[in-house]
Amino acid sequence: MKKFSRLISLGAICLLTLLTLSGCSSSVSKKDVLTADQQSNRITWGVKADTRLFGLENIRTGKLEGFEIDLAKAMTKKILGPDGKCTFVPVTSGTRVPLLKNGNIDAIMATMTITPERAKQVDFTHSYFDAGQSLLVKKGSPIKNISDLNKPGKVILGVAGSNSVKNVAKYAPKARVLQLSDYAQAMTALKSKQGNALTTDNGILYGMAAENPGYEVVGGNFTKEPYGIAVNKNQDRFRKKLNWALEQVEKDGTYNRLLVKWFGNVKGFNYQEMKR
């Protein structure tokens, strides 16, 4: 009995330690990020390093490249002036929010769709990219749009952490959804017939269709996926400044230039309608 009570108390101590370790610190969100960034003349962005077109590490140079990277650079210059510097920290869908809350990064720009559920944990700016969700299938497949998938026995492949898999549950509730860890795994799973279609944001799908001639994008966009920049709660000054910078970049044509630079050559992708 004595041994048992000792075990219990030890367990309680361990749980407490774990709880302190897992508790989210609030001290970071009290500091004003904008003031700190203006003082250090540097904004730290959390970005993707493994997603083509948006943020991908260039193996030759070791630098990150993509639409989001260029947009972040342009916005940094608007906020901090022409010598404003930016630091890019690669994030994954699992690490981006803890990194933001711990203060390792100031803002997340990593193909993150604005949703009400997420807005409970972080604050979003206006959308900086209106992705739309579509489907990729093998050429000649009987599936022409999302409603063809709304049948029992149909399997839709997606990528964990993207909002597109959530939408599928709304548009095709009868289908089964499998979430894989990255686009290449999802694409290969489609090739090995683990699913009938692959869904994600159209820009990425067109990129994959270009690499794999036997596959095509069908059905047009069935949802809008507005990507937003996420910042910590209680950072309204920073958020407003980001919105302002986004507007400036759109007004002076930089936005459209970047859109053409990254999506102009993606076959099938209508970048004209995305221009701002």
Using CB under 8 A, pick the residue from 12, 16, 147, 211 that binds another protein: 211
CA–CA separation, 142 vs 93, rounded Å?
33
Give dist(CA 32, CA 223) in Å, integer.
Answer: 35
Instruction: Report d(CA 156, CA 189) in Å as an integer.
Output: 10
Q: Which helix (H) or strand (E) holds 86?
A: strand 85-90
What is the smallest separation between the CB atom of 180 and another protein, expressed in angstroms?
6
With binding defined as CB under 8 A, does residue 8 bind another protein?
Answer: no
Pairing of strands 215-231, 123-138: antiparallel
> Out of 73, 118, 126, 276, which residue is the one contacting another protein (CB under 8 A)?
118
Q: Which of residues 29-58 bind another protein (CB under 8 A)?
A: 49-52, 56-57
- Residue 204 CA to residue 113 CA, distance in Å, equals 14
H or E segment and range at residue 273:
none
Comparing CB distances to another protein, the nearer of 28 and 256 is 28
Residue in 42, 138, 145, 160 binding another protein, rule: CB under 8 A: 160
> Which sign does the torsion angle of CA 27, 32, 37, 38 carry?
negative
Amino acid present at 148: D
Q: Which stretch binds another protein (CB under 8 A): 18-26, 221-229, 250-258, 263-271?
A: 18-26
Cα angle for residues 71, 163, 260 (degrees, 5° grid): 30
Q: Is 59 in the site for another protein (CB under 8 A)?
A: yes
In the beta sheet, which residues pair with residue 129? 227
Binder of another protein out of 12, 14, 16, 260 (CB under 8 A) = 14
DSSP 110: S
Q: Which is nearer to another protein, 7 or 260 (CB)?
A: 7
Q: Does 226 bind another protein (CB under 8 A)?
A: no
Q: In this chain, which of 4, 39, 120, 173 binds another protein, going by CB under 8 A? A: 120
- Which residue's CB is nearer to another protein, number 215 or number 238? 215
Binding site for another protein (CB under 8 A): 6-7, 10-11, 14, 18-25, 49-52, 56-57, 59-60, 90-95, 97-99, 102-103, 117-118, 120-122, 160-161, 166, 178-185, 187-189, 191-194, 208, 211-212
